[in-house]
Amino acid sequence: MQDQNSPGTLLGELRAQPPLVHCITNFVAMNIAANVLLAAGASPAMVHAEEEAGEFAAIAGALTINIGTLSSAWLRGMQAAARAAGQAGKPIVLDPVAHYATGFRRAAVDRLLELGPTVIRGNASEIIALAGGASRGQGVDSRDDVEQAEDAARLLARVHGATVAVTGAVDFVTDGDRAARIEGGSVLMPQVTALGCSLTCLIGAFTAIRPGAPFEAAVAALATFAVAGEMAASNADGPGSFSWRFLDALAALDAARLDRDARVRAA
Ligand X SMILES: Nc1ncnc2c1ncn2[C@@H]1O[C@H](COP(=O)(O)OP(=O)(O)O)[C@@H](O)[C@H]1O
Ligand Y SMILES: Cc1ncsc1CCOP(=O)(O)O
Is 158 part of any known ligand binding site?
no
Q: Output the smallest distance, CB 77 to ligand Y, in A.
A: 16
Site for ligand X in 150-169 (CB under 6 A): 167-169
Is 167 part of any known ligand binding site?
yes
Is 194 part of any known ligand binding site?
yes
Contact of 136 with 144, CB cutoff 8 Å: yes
Confirm or reject binding of residue 23 to ligand Y (CB under 6 A).
Answer: no
Which of these ranges, 12-20, 25-33, 102-110, 217-225, lies near ligand Y under the rule CB under 6 A? 25-33
Partner interacting with residue 168 (select from ligand X, Mg ion, ligand Y, none; CB below 5-8 Å by kind): ligand X
- Give the residue, chosen from 12, 19, 196, 204, that forms a contact with Mg ion under the rule CB under 5 A: 196
Contact of 264 with 7, CB cutoff 8 Å: yes
Provide DSSP, the chain: --STTSHHHHHHHHHHSPPEEEEE--TTTHHHHHHHHHHHT-EEEE---TTTHHHHHHHSSEEEEE-TT--HHHHHHHHHHHHHHHHHT--EEEE-TTTTS-HHHHHHHHHHHHT--SEEEEEHHHHHHHTT-----BTTB--S-HHHHHHHHHHHHHHHT-EEEEESSSEEEE-SS-EEEEE---TTGGGSTTHHHHHHHHHHHHHHH-TT-HHHHHHHHHHHHHHHHHHHHTT--SHHHHHHHHHHHHHH--HHHHHHH-EEEE-
Q: Output the smallest distance, CB 197 to ligand Y, in A.
A: 4
The neighbouring-strand residues paired with 181 are 172, 265
Q: Which residue is nearest to Mg ion (CB)?
A: 196
Which of these ranges, 4-12, 21-29, 32-40, 180-188, lies near ligand X under the rule CB under 6 A? 180-188
Confirm or reject binding of residue 28 to ligand Y (CB under 6 A).
Answer: yes
Distance CA 75, CA 61 (A): 21
CB-nearer residue toward ligand Y: 213 or 250: 250
What is the CB-side half-sphere exposure of residue 261 using CA atoms within 13 A?
18
Q: Output the smallest distance, CB 194 to ligand Y, in A.
A: 4
Q: Output the smallest distance, CB 108 to ligand X, in A.
A: 17
Confirm or reject binding of residue 97 to ligand Y (CB under 6 A).
Answer: yes
In the stretch 182-221, what mask flags binding to ligand Y with x, by CB under 6 A?
-----------xxxxx------------------------
Confirm or reject binding of residue 185 to ligand X (CB under 6 A).
Answer: yes
- Give the residue, chosen from 13, 171, 175, 259, that forms a contact with ligand X under the rule CB under 6 A: 171
Query: What does the binding site for ligand X look like in residue numbers (CB under 6 A)?
Result: 123, 142, 167-169, 171, 185-187, 189-190, 195-196, 199, 225, 229
Which residues carry a binding-site annotation for substrate? 46, 194
Annotated binding site for ATP: 121, 167
What residue ranges bind Mg ion (CB under 5 A)? 97, 196
